[in-house]
């Protein structure tokens, strides 16, 4: 029999007068119904626009250490407010072999349709990286045309005498 998956639940509320109880209750039940072992609930009270949130940072660190097999969230917007961050995190999960599930939105990378969504997000991320590379190259070419010297400055500028001696 296969070893049960280790599940990490991430919940977030935006203000201190809100609580995560509804999310936690539903997600615990979801994990239990799937036969997963709940490793930890990562809970933040913070704006979703903040890139650095203590519990989210801990979740990502535990994923990098492969302490989890699946990350379960209530909705995408509880996990990430920007598409860029979402795509980046999903790509990181894919690289380390962690499944991602948004319970209320039906995105589940443990099944084929969820894997398709994962692949689409990966394609978006790859496209975005290609656009960035293209813009950087164009900027470097323009800087060269404008006569700018690229690269790190030399540690020491050699005198004519030193150049002659080296030759």
For residue 72, the enclosing domain spans 6-125
The CA-based angle 64-65-66, given to 5 degrees, is 90
> What's the total number of domains in the chain?
1
**Any domain includes 92:** yes
Residues taking part in catalysis: 14
**Any domain includes 23:** yes
| Concatenated DSSP letters of 61-125 | HHHHTT--SEEEES-HHHH-SSHHHHHHHHHHHHHHT-EEEETTTTEETTSHHHHHHHHHHHHHH
Q: What's the pLDDT at 48? A: 54
The pTM (predicted TM-score) of the whole model is 0.69
What is the arithmetic mean of pLDDT over 1-28?
89
**Any domain includes 159:** no
**Any domain includes 87:** yes
pLDDT in tens, 77-135: 888 877 778 888 888 888 899 999 989 887 887 788 777 876 777 677 677 778 888 88
């Amino acid at each position: 029999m296969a070893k049960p998956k280790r599940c990490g639940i991430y919940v977030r509320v935006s203000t201190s007068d809100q609580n995560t109880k509804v999310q936690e209750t539903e997600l615990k039940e979801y994990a239990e119904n799937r036969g997963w072992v709940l490793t930890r609930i990562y809970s933040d009270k913070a704006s979703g626009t903040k890139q650095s949130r203590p519990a989210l940072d801990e979740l990502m660190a535990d994923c990098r250490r492969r302490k989890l097999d699946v990350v379960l969230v209530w909705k995408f917007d509880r996990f990430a407010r920007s598409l860029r961050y979402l795509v980046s995190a999903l790509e990181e999960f894919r690289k380390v072999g962690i499944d991602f599930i948004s319970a209320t939105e039906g995105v589940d990378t443990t099944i084929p349709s969820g894997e398709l969504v994962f692949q689409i997000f990966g394609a978006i991320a790859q496209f975005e990286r290609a656009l960035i590379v293209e813009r950087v190259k164009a900027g470097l070419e323009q800087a060269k045309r404008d006569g700018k010297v690229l690269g790190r400055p030399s540690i020491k500028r050699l005198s004519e005498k030193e150049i002659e001696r080296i030759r």
